[in-house]
Structure 1
């Protein structure tokens, strides 16, 4: 059963922490000034008693005032709190008058001084900490005027890409500046959350805004980025991709291939009643995301929201059967590469089943292919590997996709779409982006999904025969060429 991606958007933050950072706790009923009454026993008082009384009075006033302030902030027990000091003072007032009044007076002064010092230290420390944090605009200036690497780290893209995206969102009216938060800061809030998987309270501290403000701008930016999906998730070019045309290993054998399709599991946070459906074959809660990409590492189509227990072939069949999903039409004779989790049928070329396929299986002493089917599978795997590299770049840029975010499920689904849109946007605007460059041309090992088996009756026998004939013809020509050019396998 699919999930409707057009549902309402609500930002959910399950963090119940106040985020204040204060740990002061006061006992109720101690908002009165605690007086120190000297004994009238007639004993000799020291000459500085009057000064001591004044100090005690002043400190008690500080303690009483701090008690009212602290009790309104937190209710956590603290090892050294003003409330405990006052409690000790109360107990001392009830002690036997046999104790030397001077010693009692000095003990009270020490306790009050300790409480006042404790209050002063914590207040000043908090003030310094808050004063040291830049405002939202200050943080923005620090990042955008700082080194390029800082912008890449905090906003997950280069400066000029960030500025152009802000211009696009502003020029098209997708976002608007508010009295306290410019569009640049709104986008930065969103990118910090998805680019670092940060909680709401952390973003509050960083940008110096309330939790409600953070949530509102997160939702607004998420909606705006998602609305760009039709523009940046485009059907592939029907011409032979340059990545294939320029390689003797792939051309002319895969000249009609337009892209790659595979499923991607994203950790999911779902209610207990739905967890059995979302538990994948590895025992983790996840959503199964159907994705198609080009050999340029750009996503063509993204369909998130399926239960983790759903087979990849089932998700693809549901998409093809539903015209509302707008899967790019496949021109006659063209096809996508798929793995053994899908049926080999018209429009979807799968490897030979039961034959070694993954790249790590062709290493070591038995690295050379022994027949046409092995050669076909090896080159098929090498070419299809592009989608795993796309997934790796996507998750490296947006770590929120590596962990189950504590949001409503439709928000989790929309985050996947928005991340893919940003992925494509960055790819188009900065060809030398550091994350894309780090994986360019690299072969990423992909572990086989042993649980994935193609479902029966996915395609008609005629479609399967057409696909089988195509695969056989490609493998035969490829093998004949390999026998004469074995050094280019």
Structure 2
């Protein structure tokens, strides 16, 4: 009598894998295509231009943050990571492109994510503590925003948990390696933030957003005029967030990674935007 399990297995043909040499050749050809492409193709595949991509790989190698393994180069490790965060692809989808097991892809994804975190303090930092020329040279906004050095805002990223903008700000300001605002300077924030010496929000219960004003609906008082000028500068960061989400789909679509991993890539997405 034949066991039922044996019959069930016999009903499906055994998968026949190709020789490792062929898969290695396909893998090398794929990497050569990626790293020898132009900027348009590189952005479509990895969401980064070629020059910053090479610079990122070189930094990892020069500092010993990532090393070539017997079978996987640093270039491939970085490429697999960028496919995951750039297109929000599952590891089993990336497997079909890079011909690596999901375990291998997952392992290098975590390694690249970790080493990028070690560099965030060098990349994600205010460009200057001086008032931007756009404010300093504007008669509409100077001297009202004389000590403003930037804009601050929160954005919704699809995760398994969330928090209020004010709570996130309080947390990042309390960290030794968090946001440092020089004394006497401030950031522009929206109405979600409380007014404090280093954060200047708009007047509440007063027209604020640009689409609420028009040639026929001009500011009617000093508070509305202030809010209009405040919004015209702070909208820059909203556009930056929109560009960031458009570039890295993992920030906009339903997540399938753990919450800790989501937090790491949400903070580090700015790394790629700054560096590319």
Common fold: TM-score over 0.5: yes
1:338 aligns with 2:229: no
Alpha-carbon distance, 1:364 to partner: 5.9
CA deviation string 1:91-149 (max 9, x = no partner): xxxxxxxxxxxxxxxxxxxxxxxxxxxxxxxx8xx97xxx8997232112112223431
> What TM-score comes out, normalization by structure 1 length?
0.51
Could you tell me how far apart the structure 2 residues matched to 1:393 and 1:256 are? 27
The structure 1 residue matched to 2:275, chosen from 425, 435, 448, is 425
Structure 1's unaligned 5+ residue stretches are: 1-26, 32-66, 74-122, 270-277, 279-307, 427-489
Check conservation: 2:186, 2:198, Cα contact below 8 A: yes
Could you tell me how far apart the structure 2 residues matched to 1:314 and 1:400 are? 23
1:358 aligns with 2:221: no
Distance 1:411 1:370, change over 3 A: same
Alignment of 1:73-84 (within 5 A): none
The structure 2 residue matched to 1:268, chosen from 156, 159, 168, is 159
CA RMSD of aligned residues (A): 2.5
Instruction: Report SS of the residue matched to 1:339.
Output: coil
Runs of 4+ aligned structure 1 residues displaced above 6 Å come to: 131-134
Task: Give 1:416's aligned residue.
Answer: 266
1:191 aligns with 2:82: yes
Task: Give 1:247's aligned residue.
Answer: 138
The structure 1 residue matched to 2:248, chosen from 395, 398, 405, is 398
CA deviation string 1:403-457 (max 9, x = no partner): 232111111111112212111112xxxxxxxxxxxxxxxxxxxxxxxxxxxxxxx
Instruction: Report SS of the residue matched to 2:150.
Output: strand
The structure 2 residue matched to 1:151, chosen from 34, 38, 42, is 42
Distance 1:189 1:235, change over 3 A: same
> What TM-score comes out, normalization by structure 2 length?
0.88
Check conservation: 2:38, 2:50, Cα contact below 8 A: no
Could you tell me how far apart the structure 2 residues matched to 1:424 and 1:409 are? 24
Task: Give 2:169's aligned residue.
Answer: 316
Structure 2's unaligned 5+ residue stretches are: none
Alpha-carbon distance, 1:245 to partner: 2.9
Could you tell me how far apart the structure 2 residues matched to 1:379 and 1:157 are? 34
Check conservation: 2:181, 2:198, Cα contact below 8 A: no
Instruction: Report SS of the residue matched to 1:400.
Output: helix
Q: Which of 1 and 2 has greater Rg?
A: 1
Could you tell me how far apart the structure 1 residues matched to 2:25 and 2:40 are? 20
Distance 1:193 1:372, change over 3 A: same
Could you tell me how far apart the structure 2 residues matched to 1:264 and 1:201 are? 29
